[in-house]
Structure 1
């Protein structure tokens, strides 16, 4: 069972990566998603994405270069930088999110509605964070 779970998860991850990595990395995609609700500081992004501050800096540099995000000085504390998604970044996020969703629909189209609901229910049951 463990091997099968690992195999299916790897296939799903590789499929999503193949969609995203033509344009941005998976981690950059998650960074854009995190910024979709509004600007954040690098330390907040680091905590949300569970990556190091140096990794946030590296991803930020790449996304700034692609003009998908921008760094802005905090109005209340000029020493602090906020990271915000640009309109181009919002558009790219929406486009890639739609591609990812379409891919997942295709992957699960062999399941009927009852099977899909059962699968979701089982994952919810196994989700340790929900059960704490």
Structure 2
């Protein structure tokens, strides 16, 4: 709990760059809240947390993001062009996009990312 609170505070105060137009309307959700959505709508949402895994393929990028609110991670699906170069396991990110119904039976929803902002890197050495 304490770690997620610190990330949120750091996110609020870390960037002086203007937010994208859709950032002001994106609703901030915890991973637990996002995973509990039964009927996803086309509203913009924002999730902040740490990267648990990264898989980049030719046409699609998969991230698993967790903020400590749930034991499960939220799967993020994105275009590989959105991937910041320094993105790795343990990095803190802010992902904005739309919750969509997942085609897989193991998960109810996934986040179709429109933007991925790297908040902090994780030194894996």
TM-score between both structures, scaled by the size of structure 1 = 0.27
TM-score between both structures, scaled by the size of structure 2 = 0.28
Q: Which has more radius of gyration?
A: 1
- Which of 1 and 2 has higher RCO (CA within 8 Å, sep 6+)? 2
The structure in which a higher percent of residues are strand is 2
